[in-house]
Amino acid sequence: MPKAYIGLGSNLDDPARQVLSALKAISRLDGVRLLQRSKLYRTPPMGPADQPDYCNAVCVADIDIEPGELMQSLLAIELQAGRVRGVQHWGPRRIDLDLLHVDGVELDTPELKLPHPGIAKRNFVVVPLAEVAPDLVIPGLGSITQAALEIDTADLSDWN
């Protein structure tokens, strides 16, 4: 059974609660067995600065479904939480779920790119990913632990 790595983020309506609620929803998906989650991290927004800080985490799950089906389920969780995609790029959001990587899968379709092309640029993904999967090697990136050692973490802190 391959492992899937999912990034979670929120900066609206009690962000930590939104992330934890999304984790619970992921754990209830058919064909998905949640194995582990990182601690919660605080980061400033990537986009417009006039929005609250983000609460971010990463989880890992065994999956018995196709990556595309998992992505559709993640989008449904976002929709259920009130997320409307396409309103403002990198704007505030109640929940953001990104399928980051699935073991043994490389995809480049309009609907889904795996591994996620932004992993290496985002400390709020690299650091929690290294926390839950220190031995992970991602095609095109290499060792996630090495990436975590090399990425700037000055604006990354624990969510309190």
Q: Which residues are catalytic?
A: 83, 93, 96, 98
Q: How far apart are CA 65 and CA 1, in angstroms?
A: 9
Q: What is the 3-state secondary structure (H, E, C) of the chain?
A: CCEEEEEEEECCCCHHHHHHHHHHHHHCCCCEEEEEECCCEEECCCCCCCCCCEEEEEEEEEECCCHHHHHHHHHHHHHHCCCCCCCCCCCCCCCEEEEEEECCCCEECCCCEECCCCHHHCHHHHHHHHHHCCCCEECCCEEHHHHHHHCCCCCCEECC
